[in-house]
Amino acid sequence: MTALRCIAAPISFLALERFALGELESSRRTLVEQHLEACAACRAALASINDDARALPPLVLESAPAVAPSKVVENTQQTNVRSIDSAKRGSKNSVARWAGSAGAVIALAAGVFLFVRAGSKGDGMDRPSYGEKGGSVVLSIVDEGGLETSTFEDHQRVQLLLTCPQRLDNMTWNVSVIEDGVVSHPVPVRTGVACGNRLPFGTLALSGGEPIEICVSASGNGSTEEDMKASGEDAGEWRSCLELRPKP
Amino acid sequence: MQIYERYGPALLRKAQRVLRSRSEAEDIVQHLFLELLETKNMNVDLPYLYRSVTNRCLSRIRDEKNRARLLAEDGGASFESRRADESVTMTQDLLVKLVAELEEDEGQVLVLYFFDEMSLEEIAEMLGVHRKTVAKRVDSIRTRALSMAGGAS
Ligand SMILES: [Zn+2]
């Protein structure tokens, strides 16, 4: 492809996109039109926008909002909401960076507790079975066809479903993903959840070849894990973890 | 979702311009909109979303796994600038190396100026800083880019 050069300062792709969408105010629009008339390079850039016929990938929407809007501070979102892809890291540096952002999440989302299972593989702890159990928190993971899964392919998208008993209404819920001992929080913290069966809780794109542990946990009404223990409650009932393995 | 249909294609093109990968671009844009849905934040315009996608692209490039992929698969591929007087040829290799060295706000300027081809004024408005600040950042990025490109070959 021969590179076309602009006759002056190029019309930015943002301005061209807005031009194509009819969003530019009239004076700016006129300037863009005049430039385009004279400039083949910017006409070609606009044509690449108008000729882009690729389909928009479907957005895996969560149906009925059984869950109240989350109150994620903008800053929290910047630091804690990442895809699993970007959470997959190897070096010590990046692990430290992630530990740092996990800390920020805890500080901002008051009452959310975090747990890291050292080396998420085969540590001998009991894991909840798939499906629903009365009276406790159960996390289910389904593929795009809605079928429960415990394995994933590279770049596969899965949906998280939360089942929780009514006594845990209005808690704050947090999803943690643990991979190689590194915790990330790819789904915004949820508050004011009305509990029920298999509530849509978020969608994740999974990648890489290592097992991933996904945990959902509740906290709220000012109580901490310590408070729960003090009141005789089993903190384990407030959370559920599942391990997903890459498809061989 | 209306804003997804309206702005999704523009954001996919933007992310792909920077990352050179359609699947990475789709992943970034889908995550962005799912988060907007979850926070019920629908009152957003294209400049806001552009900035959001910029930050997400930078995170991807900083991620080691992607860094390796970008370098291995498409390292020499260059972005065709429309600026007649631009001395920097922005290749994937150069982008990855620059992003690793730059501060977050410089990284934003790098993407907005060299890939989105925004003017200094447009960038200043988007980032809420003075035009002069943007000009300085562009100069500093260009100096580094030229010395990196010179040193590498
Ligand atoms: Zn032009």
pTM of this prediction?
Answer: 0.56
As a whole number, mean pLDDT of residues A16-42 equals: 97
Give the pair of three-digit tokens for residue A31: 């300037």
Contact predicate A115/A217, CB 8 Å: yes
Q: Is the pLDDT score of B74 beyond 90?
A: no
* Phi, psi of A151, rounded to the nearest 5 degrees: -130, 160
CB proximity list for A201: less than 8 A, separation 6 or greater: A62, A67, A139, A159, A160, A161, A162, A173, A175, A187, A190, A216
Residue of A nearest to B58 (CA): A86
Q: Determine the 3-state secondary structure of A160 from DSSP.
A: strand
Q: Which residues pair with A168 in a beta bridge?
A: none
- Best to test chain B binding among A1, A16, A17 (most B CBs inside 10 Å): A17
Is the ipTM value over 0.90, yes or no? yes
Residue of B nearest to A77 (CA): B35
* B6 interfacial to chain A (CB closer than 8 Å): yes
Contacts of A88 in chain B (CB under 8 A): 63, 65
Residue ranges of domains in chain B: 1-73, 75-153
Q: Quickly state the pLDDT bin for A227 (edges 50, 70, 90).
A: low
Helix or strand holding residue A243 (H, E): strand A239-246
Contacts of B65 in chain A (CB under 8 A): 85, 88-90, 208
* Phi, psi of A242, rounded to the nearest 5 degrees: -135, 145
Is B47 exposed, middle or buried, given 0-12, 13-18 or 19+ CB atoms closer than 10 A? Answer: middle
Nearest to A17 among B30, B40, B46 (CB): B46
Contacts of B117 in chain A (CB under 8 A): 10, 12-13
Distance between CA A247 and CA B110 in Å, rounded?
A: 38
Q: Which residues pair with A213 in a beta bridge?
A: A178, A243
CB proximity list for A81: less than 8 A, separation 6 or greater: A72, A185, A186, A187, A188, B31, B35
Instruction: Answer yes or no: do A88 and B33 touch at CB < 8 A.
Output: no
* B31 interfacial to chain A (CB closer than 8 Å): yes
pLDDT of residue A220: 61
Give distance in angstroms: CA of A38 to centre of ligand 1: 8
pLDDT of residue B65: 73
Distance between CA A224 and CA A235 in Å, rounded?
A: 9
Give distance in angstroms: CA of A54 to centre of ligand 1: 25
Question: Looking at CA atoms only, how far is residue A67 from chain B in angstroms?
Answer: 9
Residue ranges of domains in chain A: 13-50, 69-246
| Distance set, CA B55 to CA A76, B70, B106, B109 (Å) | 14, 17, 11, 11
Lowest mean pLDDT among A19-33, A65-79, A211-225, B21-35: A65-79
Q: Quickly state the pLDDT bin for A132 (edges 50, 70, 90).
A: very low
Q: Quickly state the pLDDT bin for A56 (edges 50, 70, 90).
A: confident
Give distance in angstroms: CA of A6 to centre of ligand 1: 4
Distance between CA B90 and CA B115 in Å, rounded?
A: 8
- Name the CATH architecture for the domain at B75-153: Orthogonal Bundle (1.10)
Distance of CA A146 to the CA centre of its chain: 18
